[in-house]
Amino acid sequence: MAKAFTLTADWLLSQLDKIGASSFCVGLSGGLDSVVLLHMCKCLFLRGQLKSLRAVHINHGLSENAEQWAAHCQSLGEQWNIPVSVFGLQVKSSGQGLEDAARAARYEIFGNELQDNECLLLAHHAQDQAETLLYRLFRGAGVEGLAAMPVSRSVGLGTLFRPLLQVSRQAIEQYAVQHELVWVDDESNDLVDFDRNYLRHNVLPVVLQRWPKAISSLTKTVKHCTAAAEILHDVAIQDMQQIVQEPPFLTGMNGFPIFLPDFLQLSEARQRNVLRHWLQELNWPKPSTEHLAQITQQLSARSDASPQVCWANVMVRRYKQWLFALPSQLSHIPVVAQVLNITTSDQYNLSGNGLLMLSSINNNEPRIQVGSASQSLHIIYREQWSAEKKFAVANRSGKKTLKRWLQEFNVVPWLRDRVPLIVNEDGHLVAAAGFWVVAEFAAQKDEQGWKIEWQPCLR
């Protein structure tokens, strides 16, 4: 018969050694699990086996007892000589549900609070992991979601670590009784209106009555899903190296788009997989299964169309042979003309439209004559320019309207109204920053001139 597991501070030390950190911060709710975790850390700290130790308590303000819980955590800190920081927050669901909103707000504080190379310890245990798996399973999560809570991940400047994920709640309770610990009980944990509480009180007890080792089995499933998710991640990285490329034109996008001819060579499953990881790398909200299906379906639209799919604050759209991820709502550009004084190499902030970068050069790149640049220049935008006016551009033939030149220079549709146009005091167009110089104001061969580059900012 296998020996029953006993939770001890020495066992915890064996887990913390895997992280390689010496400074620790415990997420302290005041409940059973986090109090046990903090007590074990206190024992290790007193033995000199942890370099530094502190705790953070988040007061969500959702219970009439919230202030008492915060006071209990501070009392524990004073009793055990451990610094405890208390942070208050106001939870707003914003459509994703109170539980998810509280969790997001909590982790935002953790991320801001963690110091460089500090390790945040959370007391989630095996039953919490089983509940998370079932919760995500019933919501139709994929492999990555069914990997449930990771044992560790990066948070802010530090690392999050859950050392008790494979420890039973019974073992935690036994430790608390043995050491005569005092904790608080959150009355909301008994409210089955919350999905996780419903699983805890109404689903898991029935499952365990039929399958006593179900939590252990579900933990194994999490491990299998974690391994599968890692494989999918590796495949996505390989695919992204082939299909995510820098286009030969300015995009304003944070990161590079997907080159569709290579993307369409992948199977549908790999297309969806790489789309998820590409958006994740760009820090956009996760797409649903339906959004991914819409994206892949709309890629079959005619080549001159620009189909787009939007959710949350992101828009995925095609332009020619490329797929872009952009803000669904672009910031407004002030229509007030800015004065541009070109005297030295410098940068100009365009008030929400990125930066202009000025440099003096004498190569064959398009550049403004020194004489033209010394005049009083202004920055305007497309809506302030006459659509009918035609002009010639350096190193290009013919005279065309602004619309035609924007198309010829492959200016993407979402930047056309945002391109900074440089005009002189007589109202003549001198240059379109980052794209061209009007022929009559361009420096000649080997002549010194001013190059104006534009770095757009879309979010």
CB hemisphere CA count around 393 (13 angstroms) = 19
Residue partners of 161: CB distance under 8 A and separation at least 6: 16, 19, 21, 119, 120, 121, 122, 151, 152
- Residue 453's region, left for phi above 0, alpha for psi from -120 to 50, else beta, is beta
33 is in an annotated binding site: yes
Tell me: is residue 30 an annotated ligand-binding position. yes
Nearest by Cα to 80 from 106, 31, 24, 41: 41
The answer to whether 32 is a known ligand-binding residue is: yes
Nearest Cα to Cα of residue 206 among 277, 134, 307, 124 = 134
Q: Are 80 and 37 in contact (CB under 8 A)?
A: no
Annotated binding residue at 29? Answer: yes
Binding residue per annotation — 31? yes
Is 398 marked as a binding-site residue? no
| Residue environment code for 7-35, b if the CB has 16+ CB neighbours within 10 A, otherwise e | bebebbbebbeebebebbbbbbbbbbbbb
CB atoms within 10 A of CB 270: 17
Q: Are 59 and 86 in contact (CB under 8 A)?
A: yes
Q: CA–CA separation, 12 vs 24, rounded Å?
A: 13
Could you tell me which residues are annotated as the binding site for ATP?
Answer: 29-34
Could you tell me which residues are annotated as the binding site?
Answer: 29-34
